[in-house]
Amino acid sequence: MLLRTGRYLVSTLQTRNASNVSFIGLGQMGNRMVKNLTSKGQEVKVFDILPAALNSAANLKGAKLCNSAEEAAKDSNIVITMLPTGDIVKETLLAENGILKGIPKKSLFIDCSTIEPKMAQELSKISKENNIRYIDAPVSGGVTGAEAGTLTFMIGGDPNDMKEAEPVLNKMGGKIFHCGNIGAGQIAKLCNNLILGITMIGTCEAMNLGIKLGLDPKLLTNIINVSTGRSWSSDTYNPVPGVMPNVPSSKGYEGGFSVPLIAKDLGLAEAAALSCGTPLLLGALTHQIYRALILNGYGDKDFAVVYEFLKGQNK
């Protein structure tokens, strides 16, 4: 009797899907997302090409470490990737021991990495040709949001696929937006990160100016955070060391969102803007500032390190 009700069928499907999840890419974001999945009862098969990153999940109850993306994807109805670039996601899908080798037909491939909208469309095409489903699901919230399980997901693709993903995504963050067709999630993400890159540099400039002119950094932050200069960069991820605990600026700019990754996102935004003839005046300048940071030795630091760069050496 119960079997005949649509509601029962949906919940059976969700339970089945939620129990067979794999996750590939356990870096700054991925390892925290997996922590939330496992702490909320979701078993996950995990893989990362870097042994140290893979081992970050070694002590998590419910995480099974795998030797390849193929092994992780085997028997999974949901495969999630959280990788640096679109080319790496494609390689992880197509490699000799990649996702396609292991993933069962009709399964759902969810890419949470930030990549080119065009690459998302290509990955969707490859997925379709191999009889699996694909959605782009980039996230916002940074490592603090990944840690707290409060990420925002921006989805491009079939709304039914998104519905199927929701019980799993909800364990990593409750704000899930359907943006449109494949690639639309990536477009939303690039627009968001365009603002993020610009506001981070603006916050760093203002904080540096105030401090050089004698203001206390915590006082200045308190003022900005109840005034019109407030942004995520000032109130959640402040770039000045010691102003906030547990953010990269207070930990030597280690961890967090690396300078090359924000530079990548700004480059993707510029390429997207070029494709539709839209000017990105501050976006282009911001992109170049982050490129200069990489060349000046800040390539392995969190993107809030712009503050250090502006402050200058030993001042």
Nearer to ligand NAD, 302 or 308 (CB): 302
- Which C-beta is closer to ligand NAD: that of 25 or that of 117? 25
| Residues numbered 14-33 forming contacts with ligand NAD, rule: CB under 6 A | 24-30
Q: Which is nearer to ligand NAD, 220 or 233 (CB)?
A: 233
Q: Is 84 in the site for ligand NAD (CB under 6 A)?
A: yes
Nearer to ligand NAD, 18 or 83 (CB): 83
| Shorter beta-carbon distance to ligand NAD: residue 25 or 210 | 25
Tell me how many degrees the CA angle 201-207-212 measures, rounded to the nearest 5. 125
Q: Does 196 bind ligand NAD (CB under 6 A)?
A: no
Which residue number is nearest to ligand NAD in terms of Cβ?
A: 27
The answer to whether residue 139 forms part of the interface with ligand NAD (CB under 6 A) is yes
Binding residues for ligand NAD, total number by CB under 6 A: 28
187 forms part of the interface with ligand NAD (CB under 6 A): no
Torsional class of 63: left (φ above 0), alpha (ψ -120 to 50), beta (otherwise):
beta
- Contact between 169 and ligand NAD (CB under 6 A)? no
Residue from 45, 90, 189, 301 carrying the catalytic annotation: 189
Determine which residue in the list 142, 149, 197, 217 makes contact with ligand NAD, applying CB under 6 A.
Answer: 142
Least spacing, CB of residue 50 vs ligand NAD, in Å: 4
Q: Select the residue interacting with ligand NAD from 77, 114, 127, 233 (CB under 6 A).
A: 114
Of 13, 14, 43, 53, the one binding ligand NAD (CB under 6 A) is 53
HEC per residue, the chain: CHHHCHHHHHHHHHHHHHCCEEEECCCCCHHHHHHHHHHCCCCEEEECCCHHHHHCCCCCCCEEECCCHHHHHCCCCEEEECCCCHHHHHHHHHCCCCHHHHCCCCCEEEECCCCCHHHHHHHHHHHHHCCCEEEECCEECHHHHHHHCCCEEEEECCHHHHHHHHHHHCCCCCEEEEEECCCHHHHHHHHHHHHHHHHHHHHHHHHHHHHHCCCCHHHHHHHHHCCCCCCHHHHCCCCCCCCCCCCHHHHCCCCCCEHHHHHHHHHHHHHHHHHCCCCCHHHHHHHHHHHHHHHHHHCCCEHHHHHHHHHCCCC
Residue 248 lies near ligand NAD (rule: CB under 6 A) = no
d(CA 148, CA 171): 10
Member of 17, 36, 107, 113 binding ligand NAD (CB under 6 A): 113
Minimum CB distance to ligand NAD smaller for 14 or for 85: 85
Task: Answer yes or no: 251 catalytic.
Answer: no
Q: Which residues are catalytic?
A: 189
Interface with ligand NAD (CB under 6 A): 24-30, 47-50, 53, 69, 82-84, 88, 91-92, 113-114, 139, 142-143, 256-257, 261, 265
